[in-house]
Every structure is written in C-alpha cells, then in structure tokens.
C-alpha cells in the first residue's frame, strides 16, 4: 500500500509543479505583452509632445521675428 501512496503523491506533485510552471509562463507572457504595449504608448506620447514643442517653438520664433521687425520700423 505504501508504494501506491508514494506513486500517487509523486504523480500529484509532478502535475502540480507542471501546472505552476505553465501558469507562471502564461503570466510572464502577458506581462511582457503589457510592457510592450505600454512602451509603444510612451513612444507615441513622447513623439506627440516633441511635435507640439517644435510647433510652439516655431510659432514663438515667428512671433518674435514679426514683433521685432514691427518694433524696428
């Protein structure tokens, strides 16, 4: 009876370990996908901010040049 108990326990523990390993792999894959999505979102927001800053710099440069030329004349 003892060998059957040991065999059953070994099979149960082996299946439990396999389930834990697969669960962890699934979690890590989902976390990796989420990180990739967040990095893409950050890149898009940084690019949008860069475009807004460059547009505001160009408008400030144009406004400054226009106001200086008016002041001179």
pLDDT(63) > 90: no
The pTM is what? Answer: 0.61
Angle at the Cα of 57 from the Cα atoms of 55 and 63, rounded to 5 degrees: 105
Match 């030329």 to its residue by tokens: 69
Start-to-end CA span in the chain (Å): 108
pLDDT tens digits, 14-45: 999 999 999 999 999 999 999 999 999 999 99
């Amino acid at each position: 009876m003892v060998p059957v108990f040991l065999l059953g326990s070994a099979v149960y523990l082996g299946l439990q370990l396999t389930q834990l390993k697969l669960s962890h792999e699934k979690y890590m894959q989902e976390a990796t996908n989420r990180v990739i999505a967040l990095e893409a979102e950050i890149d898009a927001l940084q690019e949008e901010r860069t475009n807004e800053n460059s547009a505001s710099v160009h408008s400030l440069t144009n406004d400054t040049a226009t106001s200086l030329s008016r002041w001179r004349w």
